[in-house]
Amino acid sequence: MAESRQSLGVLEYRSIATGMKAADDVLKTADVDLVFAKPVCPGKYVVLIRGDLSAVNAAMERGTSEEHAAILVDHCILGNPHPSIFEGLNCSGDVENIEAVGVMETYSVASIFEVADDVVKTTPVNILEIRIAKGISGKAYVVFSGELSSVEASIEKAKKSVIAKGLLLQTSIIPRPDPRLWQEFI
């Protein structure tokens, strides 16, 4: 049985010029699809690839090789990401009848994908949005929704993971959010 093209690789570089070269190297290394490759604030370059796990692993190995390691900010591989990861990138979460919202903000793009995937797989919450770096000074954030106790548990679980890497910026939990706010931003 063939592997699905669901695996996701995230590479975050501190240089646009070298990041573009690394992205080209990654794409030439294995049969992966390019999801996103763009310069982001403050002068970083982010690459998201998707494909079979073996292809993503090979491409990521090239993207994190010694040649590119000096400019690498962070990276991750999600072997079988939750489908809401991709939906979150498109801000396609349902904002109706939300009991609570949790927001986590990190200093790296890759860390937000790792934590979002882990949390949505292990706690009963939904991802409303994942915003990565562009226009927010290179930071990233994820917005979870669900019952208040689930949102609180998801934020606590996520904080432990991100704190260990030294990449946590801030979190907030908003019980009974006003729908007008989320209609505006999500």
Q: What pLDDT band is residue 73 in, cutting at 50, 70 and 90?
A: very high
Domain 7-78 annotated CATH 3.40.1160.10: no
The model carries a pTM of: 0.86
Q: Which residues contact 138 (CB under 8 A, 6 or more apart)?
A: 40, 41, 42, 44, 107, 109
Indicate the CATH number of 83-185 among 3.30.300.20, 3.40.50.2300, 3.30.70.1710, 2.60.40.2700. Answer: 3.30.70.1710
Inform me whether the pLDDT recorded for 2 exceeds 60.
no
Task: Find the length of the chain.
Answer: 186
Domain boundaries, the chain: 7-78, 83-185
Share of the chain above pLDDT 70, in %: 91
Residue among 12, 162, 133, 139 nearest 72 (CA): 12
Each residue of 108-157: pLDDT tens digit? 899 999 999 999 999 999 998 898 877 777 789 999 999 999 999 999 98
